[in-house]
Structure formats: C-alpha cells, structure tokens
Structure 1
Amino acid sequence: MPLATCVALLMVFDWAALPGIVLTLFLRYYFRVGAEMATLLTVIYFTSLFLAWLGYRWQAGNRWSAALGLMNLAWMRVGWLLVFLTVFFMTVLQIVVESGLLPGYLGLVTADFVTLRTLINLQAMIIGILLNSHVIYLVIRMIRQPRYWRVLRMMLRKQRAPGVKTTEMVVWFLVMATMVTLLSVPSISEPFTKILLSDYTLTLLFPVMLFGALRYGYYFISIVWSITLTVLFYNYQGFISETGFVHNLVFVSALMLVYTITLLLMSALSSRQRLLMKKFKSAALLDPVFGLPNLRAFNRDLARHPRSMLCFIRVSDMDVLSRNYGMQLRIQFKQQLAVGLKPFLQSGERVYHLPGYDLVLRLNCEDADMKLQGLHDYLEDFRLLWNGLPLHPNIGLSYCTVYSPVEHLPILLGELSGIAEVSLTTGQPESNKSDHSQVQLEIRDKVDMLHKIQRALDDDRFVLMAQPILGVRGDSYYEILLRMFDGSQDTLITPDKFLPVVHEFGLSYQMDMWVLRHALMFINQNRVRLPSLRFAVNFTPSTLCRPTFTRDFKSLMLEYEIEPFQIVLEVTESHLLQNMKYADFAMRELRAYGCRIAIDDFGTGYASYGRLKAIQADILKIDGSFVRNMLTDSLDAYIVQSICQVARMKHLSIVAEYVETEEQKAALHALGVDYMQGYLVGKPEPLATLLDFP
C-alpha cells in the first residue's frame, strides 16, 4: 500500500510530492522501528521512487500526467512504475537485509531471497500498485478538485458500451457481490457448500469480472476490482485452505495478478475501441476537406425528424472560378457561406456539403416563409473576399417539404438542383411543388418506372408497334414504335410515360439497341413472306454520339443479314442542338454504309433551318403539330409550305405526320410531300400483324 500511495501522489503532484512522501514514510517507520531503521527504509523508498519516476518522466515527456487507461502510455507506466519500481525496491531491500542493516522480521524479505514468501510479497506489491494506485489517484484528484467527480462520472458513462442499462448493471453487481460474499465466508464441512466457498468460486469470478471489463469500461472495473481484491485478501481465510497455506497463497496471489492484468488490459482496450469507433462514426459524418456534414449525416438527420424543409443552394459559375483561382477558392467559399448561414438556423438545423458546388440545408418547418426570405437576403448580400477581390457568383435557392422516411434521396436532390437552376434566372427561391408530398411521390413513381423498364429490358417485356408510312408513288415502309407491358400482358405503357425516365437514367443506348435488334430479328425471320421490308427506327442523339454505335449497328446488320437500304434511322431534330458535331459524324458514316437518315419532328426545335444546312440527311419529317391545323390556321400552313420548299432545295424526301383526313392529304400532296403518315394511312399495330396482310 505505501508504494501504491506514493505512485498516486507522484501522478498528481509530480516532483513536488517527493518531500511529503519522504517525511510521511520516515514518520510512519519512526514510531515502529526507530530513527535509524526508519531513515534507512525511507532512503530505500526514496531511491526506488526517484529512479522509477525519473525514467517514466524521461520517456513519457509532457504526457506524463495523461489520464489513466491510455494504451500509448500503459507500457511506460508498467515498465517504470510497476516492474522497475517493485523489482528494484525488493532487490535493494534484500541487499540491505543480507548485509545485516535491517532485520528480516519486517515482513518484506528474509535472509534467503528465493522463497515463496518473497514471491508472495512481490506479487502483492504489483497488484497493489496496479489497482490501489488508481483508486488513490482518483481520491486525491477529487479531494484536490471537488468538481473532478463530475469528470469521473462523465468518464464512467462515456466508457460504457452502448445499450448498457441500469438493470443489467444491477444484476451484474448482485452476481459479483454474491460470489465475493461466498468467498469471504469461513469454510464449512458440507461437501457442496464447501466447493462454493472454496477457491473454485474464485475461478468463476473471473468471467463475471471480464464481462464487466468489456461492458463497463476501464475506470469502473479498476475501482470495483480494487475494492473486490481488498475485501478478498482481508478475508482470505474463507477461500484459502490452511493445508499447504503458503503454496495456496502463492497460487491465489499469482491468479489474482493474472486476473488483474487481464481485466485492466481488456477494459482499457474495449474502452479505447469504443472511443475510436465513436470518433470514426463522427468522422464518417463530416467531409474531410470542407469540414461540413456530408450526405450520410444529412440522411441520418432526415430520418430523425418526421417533417423537414429542404433548401438547396446552387452556386453558379463556381466551376469557372475554381479553374481560375484554384480549388482552395471553392473550399473557402463553401466554408464561409456555411458559417454565415448558421445564425439563421435553429437548434437541430444544419448546413450540409454536397459533392461539387452546392449546399443543402435541413430546416424545421416552423416560420418557413420567414426563414426562406432571410436566407435569400443573405445569399444576395454574401461576398467572398479573395485576395482583395469581392466575389459574388449567382446563387440559386430551391426548397421543398418532405416527410420521413425520405426515399431515393439522390434523385430528390437532383430534382431540387433543377429547380435551383430556375431560381438562378428568376432571382427568387423556387419550388414548383405546391403539395409538400408531391416531390417524394413523383420520385417514387419515377423509381418504380425505372424498375419496370429494367425488368422489361431484361425479360423482353417490350412490344414493337409498326405504323405505315405511305408514299405517293406507291412505295411504303413502317415506323417502329415502342410500348411496354405493365405487369400483365394486356396493359401497355405509352412512350411518353417511360421514355423520359429512360433518357434521365442513361438507358437510351440500351433501349435503342434492343429495338434495333428485335426489328432486325423480325425482318430476318420473315424475309420470305415480307421481302424487302423496310423499317424506320428511332435513335436518340446520345446513341448516335456513342463511339461504338456505328460498329455495333453494322455488327447487328451482318448478324441478321439485313441490307442497309431496309433501315431508316430517325433522329429528333430538336435534340441535336448540343450534339450536332458528334451526331453528324455517325450519320455520315451510316449514310455511306447505305442507310437513310430521317430528321423527325422538324420545326419544333429552334434554329431548325440553320441546322438543316449542316445536317446530312435524306428524309425530312414535318412535325404533326403543324399538319394537324394547317387547313384552319394560315400560320401553320405557311410553315408547312416553307419547310417543303427548303426540303426540295436540299433534295430531301418529305414525310408529313398526323395526316388524318383526305383534305389534309390532298393539300400536302399539292405542296410536294412524298410520304404520308397518320391515322388516315394506318394506326400503330403490333409488329406481328404485318404477317396478316397478303
């Protein structure tokens, strides 16, 4: 106990504790053995403590006073304050006893050093320093600073495993207390009871304490185990047999030493593991570069609140600014913007980092209009001072209200990003959803449609429709249209329902190649009954721009032995604006291959005539919106006439869509239209119905 107390004092007061330790030790032994032997014992204590503390301070440096239970200092403390201190102290004491300066009856060593008694004392000293120094250290800290008990209580809670309940701890304590009580009761003669009150119960105590070490942490188990050992050693007669008492005491003390080291080590490791896990979880919720909560934290916070308002902040032109001034500009801009937004946030509301140049806020729904106006005003006034230059890129703000659980969060953020683009133009917070649940419902419907499309592609649950295109000179071909089965084989989904989802999620190429393969397959399988059958197949500009498209197209044509003249590629003109350069290369190559190119829905895209000068095509299809009312609307009639004149100058064949009456057909024929398409000519029918015609 004296060494444990001395170590605890050094851990609190450092070198300043040595004078008090020396005086106390001298007085302690002075009244027991006299001044001469008290002086000698005090010198032995002082020398051992001085050298051990000197070595520890030298190796630990400025971290010598760090909290107990830290693994990075554990080995230094074990090496210097436990192993070195006890071994050096016992060795010096043995030398002094053997020299005759001290009598052997003091109880620590005898003239014969290698004895069981010496081993017992050494093990007892190690256990005492391991445990009692911790408890005494905590007591001294609380006496010196009464508020330290709050820190200790916080550490006891912090080191406990998640999910530990009071009931569990009470049950564990009752089991442990019962076993300690059994061990402390003097032995009696009944066989069964004698087993329970023997050192056999001591072995059963270890798993109970080990459970506590893993669940309740280092501080808790060190305090409880220290008190437990004190009680057990005070009542050692209850579990140590008098027969072979010394040998039994050696075994029990060694067992206690192993238990102590194991319990302290396991409790320290488990506490450290839980602390690291907590840090890892906290770090996983922060972006390491921007230091802001990330999408994982955003998703977690949405789940914690039944109703939230989301505000999406879109920073325009940040890409250009980042290229000119470096990535540090983007980092500093988002950080300062997030800091400036915090005064507008209530408890539980946060700013979250999104990949790229955007931020998103989760707000409570109370006083939503006032919050939005305050955020908008701040964003309008925000400036980043970068090297003396105030920067203020255009910032868009969109918002919506959602209920937990929020499904398909990335898609929802994509919707808000698109709405924020509108805000960049209007200069006001935008939300085109009047119903708070409409965004989530539309996203859910969109995802359901995506799943249907993917299953249809995998299981061939699409159906090809054919609508005739009749030439004024008697020739004809068919436009291939697409429908999708909805669950059952008798319900079809029209393209306007699923094609937007196909384009949004990048399935255009997969869809186009599915249509092409099955159209070519039909021609190949029915080439005898339907010789020289020609199909017009629609392709998206993204498909034409794919580097491998022309190679894949030719490969399928060769696989099914189809002649190039049998396929007309229809491309929507309004989609070609931003992809003209890449689409033109593919169209040139396919025209050279022998296929014909048709520009679909001509007139609906802007700058159509300018594009027509550069587009390499063979057929021009007039959009049906102009044909439908051309007999009653002079402007539509003039547009159709103008398109026909330009097409003839380019030597293009002309196809008119939505031809529904004989009057329309006659008027179009007079304008020089070469092909008619519409309900007057024929409605879309399943591809297999072509086999029904003679």
Structure 2
Amino acid sequence: MGLRSFLEKMYKPVVMENELANRNSRINKSTVVNQWRNFPLMYLARPKNLKKYITLCFSFVLLYSFADKLSNSIEISGTTIRLYDLTLPVISALLILYNKKAIPVLILFALYRVHTQPLPQVLDTISQLTAALISTKVYFYATGKRGAVSFGRSSLSAQRILWLICFNTLIFTLFQQFLLLKFNFISEINILSIPTLINIQWMLTSCITGTPFCYLILRACYQPLWFFNYLKKLKELIVSGPRAIYQLLWAMLVIGIMYCLIYVHGDSLIYTDYTIVWLLPVMLWGAICLGHALMSPLWVVMLILLSDYINNYISIDHEFTFNHYVSHLALTCSMIFTFSLTIVIVGVLVTRILKHIRSLKRISLSEPHTGLPNLLALKNDIIRYPHAGLCIIQCPELNTLTQTHGIIFRFEFVKAVFSYLSPLLMDNEKMYYSPGYGLLLRLNKVDDDIIHPYYKAMSSFRFSWEEMELGLNFGMAYMAYGKCINNLSYVVGQLNARTYESLKQGKAKALNVSHHGDQAISSGAIRHLLQKSIDRKSFMLVAQPIVSTKNSSQYYEILIRMKTINNKIFFPDTFLPVAEEAGLLAEVDLTVIEQTFQFMQSLDQSKSDTRFSINLTPQSLSRKDFLDRLNTLLKNYLIRPDRIIFEIIESDIIDSINASSVLQELRRLGCQIAIDDFGTGASSYSRLKTLEVDILKIDGSFIRNVVNDKFDRLIVMSFCEAAKFKSLQVVAEFVENEEIKQMLISMEVEWLQGYHTGKPVPIESLWS
C-alpha cells in the first residue's frame, strides 16, 4: 500500500464526518480539500511536496546533530553548565519556518531520541520541544502569519525577543529543572543559583543569535533561490559599505581579538576575559556599517569559538580559586549576552535605517505626484549614457486647464502621456517628468526621423477627463548631447524655450548647443550683477539734457547702465528683461531714484533748482508700498518733489486702476508726470482725453523723418495741437541734426532731446 493510500484511508472517516456535518451549509468541494490540507500529514501526502519534506527532515536532523556536537559544557560543583547551545534554536527555527508542517518531523525526531539516547539527553530533548512549541505558539498568536518572515525585521524584533528568546529560555529552564527533579537527577530546584543563572544567560545568548542562524540554514536548504538572493544582498552590503581598506582593518581587528581569547598565553592581561570587552565596539562598528545580515552569522561563529575555548581565557588552574572562576564565568557570560543583544538590536535598526535610506533615494529620484523619474534621475542617467539625446514635450495649455479642472488634471494627463508613449521607447531609453518643464525623453539617438513618430503620436493623443476628450497643443524640441554638456538645467531651459517655437511652427525643433557654458555663465553673471547693483546701489547713472526752445533752461533725463569690474557696459535692453523675469523692476526703479536723490543732495546751492526726469516701470506703479518708500526717500534726502519728473510709457497708464491712483498722488506731492514714447500706442488720442499728466514726449519714430516725411510732420503737428488744448508741455525725442531742430521750433515744440542738443554723459560729470 502506497503512502498516499495509507494516509487517505487513515483520514477518510474524519473527512466523511466533516462532509456530513457541513452538508446543510452547502460547503463545496474546495472547502473539503482545504480541510484536508490543514492536516500536517496531508501536506506530506502530496507528491509535489514529498521531496521538499524529505529534504527538510534530512536538513533538520543533520543540523541538530551538528549543533549538538558543537555544544560545549563544563561541570561546576556537580552541576552541568551547557555553554553556547544551538539545539533549542534549531527546533525553534524549524517551527517558525514551517509551523504545523514541522510537527510530524518533530514527533519522529522525539521517538528517535527516546530510543537512542540516555535518559538525561531525552529529558533535555523533551524540555526543548516543549519550550519551543509553547513559545512559537504564543509568538504566532501575537504576530500572526507574518511572524514566519526572515529575521532582521524591526517591526517584529520586540515580539521575537520577548517570546522566542526570553519566554523560550524560561520555559526550557523550568521544565528541564522539573524533569530532572522528578527523575532524581537533582535534589531541589534552585533557579537563583549561580550555575543556573549562567545556564540561563548562555541559553539567552544561544536563542538570540542561534535562532536566526538556524532559520537561515534551514531556509537555505528548503529554498535555494531565496538563499542566493540573500547572498546577493550580502554582497551588495559589502560593496556599498565602507571602503575596502576600512573593512580589511576591521576584519584584522576581529581576528586579532579572537586570537587573544582562544590562544593560551600565560598570565598576560590581553589573553584573559578582559579582551572580550573590546569585541563590543568592534562588532558594533560592523553592525552599523554592514548591517544585521552579515554580522549575525559571523557573531554565531565567534560565540561557538568563545564557548569552546572558554578555558583558555578563564582558567581554573593555579591562579584562580573556585569562587573566582565562577564569578569570572558569570560576568563573562553576562557580557556576552549583553553584547549579543546589543549587536542584534543595532544590526536590526541599521538594516531598517538602510532600508529607509534606499527608500529616500528612490523618492529623491522621482516626482512625488506622478511617481515618474525626475530631473535628478535624468542627471544621473546622463552620466551613464553620455552619447544619447534629449527630447522635451511641453503643453502650455496645460496651465490653463489645470486652473479650470484642478492640479490632479495635470498629473493624470502626464501619467496618461507617459503610458501612451512608453511603447515607442527602445532599450535603455527612459522618460522623465519635471513640473516646471514637462516630459523629457532620453533617447539612444535623436534626429528628424526618430523624433517624427513621437511628434505624430502626440498629435493623435487624446486625453479623457470627465466625459471629455481633449487633444492639447504641444511643442517638441530635441538635441543630441555629449560629455561636454554638464549644465543640465541650462540645456533643459533652452529646450523648453525651443518648444514654443515648435508650437508656432507645428513641427519638432532641433536645438544645437555649442557654447552653452559661456551663455549660461553670461546669463548668470547678468543676474548676479543686477542683484549686486540693487544691493549696493551701484547702477551707472547717465544724464541726457532736455533743452528748452524758448530760453536757456534745461532739465535732465536719468538713464541707467550696469558696469562690470573690467569696465564692460550693459545697456538696459540687456538687463531689464532679466530684471522683469526675476520680478526686480520695481527694486531697480527705487534704487535709481535713491541714487539720483543722493546725487541731487550732493549738488551745491547754485544747482538746487535743477530738475531730473526718472523712468518708472508699471511694476512700480502696481506696488502698494511704492508711495510710502518714495516719501521716505524724499524726506531722508530733503528733495523737493517739484524737481522730479516721472516718465511713464503710454501703454502702462490707464491699464491699471492702481497705476492711475499712484500717478494722481504723485502729482499731489508736486512731482510732474510725463508720457514717454507717445504715439506708439494703439489708442493714443482716446487715452489723451482722460490722462491727467504734465508733459507729452513724442516718440522718436515720428521725429526722425519729420523734415522729409509730410505724414510724420502732420502727426507731430496734431500731437502739438492736442497737447496745447490740454495745456501739456511737449518734448520731441531723437533730435539728431539742426534741420530737425529748426523744424520743431517752427512747430512751437517747447523741449528738445537728442544727440544734437546734448549727448548722455555720466551724471557725475554733468558740470565738469
């Protein structure tokens, strides 16, 4: 009769009884099969598990026998003290790993021990089985099925120390003492005697270190693939750990300390149990730097050696009395247990910390809302693939739709595009996302033929959102990069700017960056110089005279430049766009005003009526604190408001209610307001009707050809007539020669400005 037939016949009555009891509940066939599987022997009866079960039995018996051979014991006053003993940890590890499935193996093992071993060893085995069964049962009750996972989990450490170590050792000790008393091997139970305490401490050490070690060996025999992954992780820990020289020094220290402990050498202090103290810092360093997975097996090997050679560093010969020997032995085993507990806990915590560090690294390389790789991940990958190409996809319309549908719309759209384009990617190609720029593709190679399928795919893409299907306009730009490109943020910024050209032209645009480094430095230098000029109030002020056609009076328009240390001059068209992008235009205006006031304050009494015209940007007019700061400057520098003219570009007025109110307040203070570049706006005359200003500055584009172009002449005359009706003074810009000057005088223009009437000069040299 086969084993399967025998087991089916044995359990057939039980199964039939279960079927009858549950017929009214309509339990199906799968439920009955599951009930069969609950029996440990049913697991064994399945042919596919029989081979593994035989391997398990063989591994357990071999490991127990090996652990029993390694166990060492000494006799103290008639009491046997077992030192480092792995037999109880082997049984505990088997139950943790297989739970109920291990019971048949343990029953057969117990029967074998009863028939082959003397009574004291049988009592030890019964005590071990009892303690292991009770402690693992309580342990699984507290942790559930997750309790069978590998050792090194910080979330289970407290439960394992409590039940599998402390409770297990206590049950084993009490039950062993009870059985020895019943069979007259001892006369009384004295749990507080020194030999018993030494036994308990060694057993605690055995359980806290030996149980994970035996678990590792048993699982390696049962699941070789798992063990290979374990070895792979061990290799990663060593490779990613401290430098090789430090690991070598640490290994030499461990070997040196162990040599001092197990080598017999007279009365020298370093060859006694004193040297054990040095094991703690050395092993702690290993646990912190290399983790629990490596330190735990190594510490077990060291403990086996320490227990086997205990007489070498704690000797009862000659120099020690019996009491001294026992005291040293108790102290040593106490230290070893403390070290073991510390090393295990530190190793577990370090493993948890390393896991969190790896998790944080993964998080740092991904965009949090979409989970896609970010720019930092792209930067790392560029180093690994230095001859690939970049492609960027930008959807400007996404900003408007995000305001309408919420921020989730953006992230869902990005994830949808990622899923849509992923099948087009080749090996080693990857997609990234940056909220500021859009989707970036790292491709093995880029050219028009490779990029075209991506452009075509994006043109056909439709995004479904709340019963809507949307096809968003997009721009696409690409470039090949090499090792010379090390400023990723600059390159991505240039690609992003190129996408707007792509959006207008309806095709992907290539970007060629040859001297990106110099450009990036130049742009950064302008921004740095701008900030420094604001902070130090060091703009270069240039004054151009505006002369009267009726008398010799004049006033000056303040123009600004930026000057570098090597005397390079930057004009406003270079740095004002940077200031606008950085939101610094208002600060530039206030800095220029303060520098002008400083200069005016330095003038002598004979020039105390000189007037200066200063340009204001719309950002200044929109600031709530502009008037307060201006009033403060006027008071601090004792400047009369009637000496100040503020020039405003025509299109900047009226568009803002706040700007109009600021201009009115400036006029109340006594300042004059001039409209600069008048005539270039789309509705100059309609604005002139409502403007409350003092001076009209006609744009130079009308003045340049006023002599030869009749139409320009008529336009200028109409401006003058309108200004005269509104009682405004008129300034003509771009007066470049005498003919233009005479023509404007004949048209009764009151003020002239241009290179013919006066060139701009540094403000310090106005009266030099």
The two structures have a TM-score, normalised by structure 1, of 0.89
Q: How does 1:201-212 map to 2 (within 5 A)?
A: 201-212=275-286
Match of 1:355 in 2: 435
Deviation at 1:18, TM superposition (A): 2.2
Residues 1:65 and 2:148 are matched in the alignment: yes
Match of 2:419 in 1: 339
Match of 1:330 in 2: 410
Indicate how the Cα distance of structure 1 residues 297 and 163 shifts in structure 2: closer, same or farther if over 3 A, else same.
same
Deviation at 1:659, TM superposition (A): 0.7
Q: How does 1:461-480 map to 2 (within 5 A)?
A: 461-474=538-551, 475-480=553-558
Distance 1:612 1:504 in 2: 30
2:110 to 25, 43, 48: 25
Q: Could you give the per-residue CA deviations for residues 397-421 of structure 1, whole angstroms, max 9, x where no partner exists?
A: 3445666687876666555444433
2:183 to 87, 90, 101: 101
1:89 to 148, 172, 184: 172
1:195 to 269, 282, 305: 269
1:653 to 714, 720, 729: 729
Distance 2:209 2:484 in 1: 50
Indicate how the Cα distance of structure 1 residues 427 and 354 shifts in structure 2: closer, same or farther if over 3 A, else same.
same
Distance 2:505 2:692 in 1: 38
Q: Could you give the per-residue CA deviations for residues 542-592 of structure 1, whole angstroms, max 9, x where no partner exists?
A: 111111212322332333333333211112235558x54332222222223
Q: Could you give the per-residue CA deviations for residues 612-652 of structure 1, whole angstroms, max 9, x where no partner exists?
A: 44443322222223322343455654554554455445543
Distance 1:200 1:531 in 2: 92
Distance 2:568 2:401 in 1: 52
Bigger CA drift: 618-627 or 171-180?
171-180
Tell me the amino acid that sits aligned with residue 660 of structure 2: D
Distance 2:249 2:713 in 1: 91
Match of 2:560 in 1: 482
SS at match of 1:565: helix
Distance 2:652 2:480 in 1: 33
SS at match of 1:64: helix
Indicate how the Cα distance of structure 1 residues 670 and 338 shifts in structure 2: closer, same or farther if over 3 A, else same.
farther
Match of 1:525 in 2: 602
SS at match of 2:224: coil
Deviation at 1:447, TM superposition (A): 1.2
Tell me the amino acid that sits aligned with residue 183 of structure 2: L
Q: How does 1:105-116 map to 2 (within 5 A)?
A: 111-116=189-194
Residues 1:12 and 2:97 are matched in the alignment: yes
- Does the 8 Å CA contact 1:412/1:443 hold for their aligned counterparts? no
SS at match of 1:691: coil
Distance 2:598 2:245 in 1: 72
- The gaps in structure 1 that reach 5 residues or longer are none
SS at match of 1:571: strand
Match of 1:675 in 2: 751
Deviation at 1:372, TM superposition (A): 3.0
Indicate how the Cα distance of structure 1 residues 171 and 39 shifts in structure 2: closer, same or farther if over 3 A, else same.
closer
Indicate how the Cα distance of structure 1 residues 523 and 422 shifts in structure 2: closer, same or farther if over 3 A, else same.
same
1:629 to 705, 715, 718: 705
Distance 1:115 1:554 in 2: 91
Match of 1:384 in 2: 463
Tell me the amino acid that sits aligned with residue 407 of structure 2: M
SS at match of 1:154: helix
2:305 to 225, 231, 238: 231
- Does the 8 Å CA contact 2:389/2:446 hold for their aligned counterparts? no
Distance 1:351 1:614 in 2: 56
Residues 1:183 and 2:261 are matched in the alignment: yes
Q: Could you give the per-residue CA deviations for residues 293-348 of structure 1, whole angstroms, max 9, x where no partner exists?
A: 33444454456665665444332333443344333322211111122233344555
Q: How does 1:362-381 map to 2 (within 5 A)?
A: 362-364=441-443, 366-381=445-460
Indicate how the Cα distance of structure 1 residues 153 and 313 shifts in structure 2: closer, same or farther if over 3 A, else same.
same
SS at match of 1:147: helix
Q: Could you give the per-residue CA deviations for residues 599-619 of structure 1, whole angstroms, max 9, x where no partner exists?
A: 212334444445444443322
Indicate how the Cα distance of structure 1 residues 39 and 257 shifts in structure 2: closer, same or farther if over 3 A, else same.
closer
Indicate how the Cα distance of structure 1 residues 339 and 440 shifts in structure 2: closer, same or farther if over 3 A, else same.
farther
Distance 1:426 1:6 in 2: 76
Residues 1:269 and 2:346 are matched in the alignment: no
- Does the 8 Å CA contact 1:601/1:624 hold for their aligned counterparts? yes
Indicate how the Cα distance of structure 1 residues 102 and 167 shifts in structure 2: closer, same or farther if over 3 A, else same.
farther
Q: How does 1:443-522 map to 2 (within 5 A)?
A: 443-474=520-551, 475-487=553-565, 492-522=569-599
Indicate how the Cα distance of structure 1 residues 484 and 114 shifts in structure 2: closer, same or farther if over 3 A, else same.
closer
SS at match of 2:767: helix
Distance 2:406 2:709 in 1: 56
SS at match of 1:529: helix
Deviation at 1:390, TM superposition (A): 0.7
Match of 1:157 in 2: 235
SS at match of 1:286: coil
User: What percentage of residue pairs aligned between the two structures are identical?
Assistant: 30
Bigger CA drift: 508-517 or 56-65?
508-517
Tell me the amino acid that sits aligned with residue 146 of structure 2: R
- The gaps in structure 2 that reach 5 residues or longer are 1-85
SS at match of 1:421: helix
Distance 2:493 2:725 in 1: 44
- Does the 8 Å CA contact 2:370/2:411 hold for their aligned counterparts? yes
Tell me the amino acid that sits aligned with residue 103 of structure 1: F
- Does the 8 Å CA contact 2:478/2:509 hold for their aligned counterparts? yes
Distance 1:589 1:408 in 2: 48
Q: Could you give the per-residue CA deviations for residues 631-680 of structure 1, whole angstroms, max 9, x where no partner exists?
A: 34556545545544554455432211111111111222333422111111
Match of 1:564 in 2: 641
Indicate how the Cα distance of structure 1 residues 564 and 198 shifts in structure 2: closer, same or farther if over 3 A, else same.
closer
- Does the 8 Å CA contact 1:160/1:271 hold for their aligned counterparts? no
Distance 1:603 1:399 in 2: 42
Residues 1:282 and 2:362 are matched in the alignment: yes
SS at match of 2:606: coil
Indicate how the Cα distance of structure 1 residues 40 and 172 shifts in structure 2: closer, same or farther if over 3 A, else same.
closer
Distance 2:517 2:604 in 1: 49
Distance 1:351 1:448 in 2: 32
- Does the 8 Å CA contact 1:310/1:399 hold for their aligned counterparts? yes
Tell me the amino acid that sits aligned with residue 55 of structure 1: V
Match of 2:3 in 1: none
- Does the 8 Å CA contact 1:305/1:404 hold for their aligned counterparts? no
Distance 1:673 1:406 in 2: 57
SS at match of 1:599: strand
SS at match of 2:697: strand
SS at match of 1:422: helix
The two structures have a TM-score, normalised by structure 2, of 0.81
Deviation at 1:81, TM superposition (A): 1.0
